[in-house]
Every structure is written in C-alpha cells, then in structure tokens.
Copies of this chain bind each other. A is one copy, B any other.
Amino acid sequence: MRPTDLMPIGEVAHRAGIAPSALRFYEAQGLVTAERSGGGQRRYARSVLRRLAFVRAAQNVGLSLEEIRDALASLPDGRTPTAADWARLSRTWRARLDDQIAGLTALRDGLASCIGCGCLSLRRCALSNPDDGAAAAGSGARYLPPSLRRVPGR
C-alpha cells in the first residue's frame, strides 16, 4: 500500500469546493474522517471526495447535516461503498424532491388565483394559509413543504 495519495486539507478543500474550516467542522460533526501526519496535520484519502460530494448533493436536496450523518452511517462498515450504496442512499431523495416541487407548484397556482383579486384574506387566501383550525377551516392544504420553510417553527 502506498501511504501517499493522501491529501492535505487545502487540496481537499480546493477540489471539493468547500472551505477548510468547513472540512474541520464536518469532521467534528462526524461526517468525514482523516488520518494524521506525523506532526498532527490532517491527511485525507481520495474517497473523502466522494463522501463530500454526497454531503453537498444531500444539502442541495434539503437535508440537514444531522440527516446526512445518519445517512452516511448506514453505509457498509468494512468495505468501500459501491456505486449501488450511494445510489440506494440518494434514491429516497426523489420523493422528497417531488414533495418540494408539488408544494411550490401549489403555491404558485394559489398565487395565480390570488393575483387577480389581491385579497390575501387570512381566512381564504391560499398564499397565507395559517394552518390552525380557525383560519384554515376549509382547505387543509399546506403550500410549502416543511423542508423548504425558511421559518423553522410555526
């Protein structure tokens, strides 16, 4: 085995398009691991690049780092993950994306019907649906899927 082809943090950061500080942060969060050089500097295996690609892709789909860590934890223990392993993980994203798209589409269509009247009624307008019983009595629809809500609670 060649102990070489291990990359320092700067190179990984550059190749993955992620800041070194983020890489250290990911390590602290248990998303990636690294060997250490004699002097204590991080040395990354090439495989970390794929792992980072997965992290980024998952973020794009809207997963939190915690969800991503859980997903990565489900990878096989001993062996190197295969293409099929990665594919299995990302397969579940499809439904999530479908939800997100459906939510936005519903919101857009609600918008189309609201623009005409300019109502924005608390009780009736599809755009401003408060999901409490009193106000959203008629339609139970939620227009933005939770994964896309920038306002966490509510």
Contact = CB atoms under 8 A, between A and B. Distances in A.
Interface of A: 14-18, 49-50, 52-54, 56-57, 59-62, 64, 82-88, 90-91, 93-94, 97-98, 100-101, 104-105, 107-108, 111-112, 114-122, 125, 127-132, 134-135, 143-144, 148-151, 154
A86 B148 contact: no
Name the prevailing secondary structure of the A interface residues: helix
Contacts of A117: 83, 87
Contacts of A105: 101
A101 B104 contact: yes
A129 B16 CA distance: 10
A108 to B, nearest CB: 4
B90 A115 contact: yes
A129 B52 CA distance: 11
A139 to B, nearest CB: 14
A108 B83 contact: no
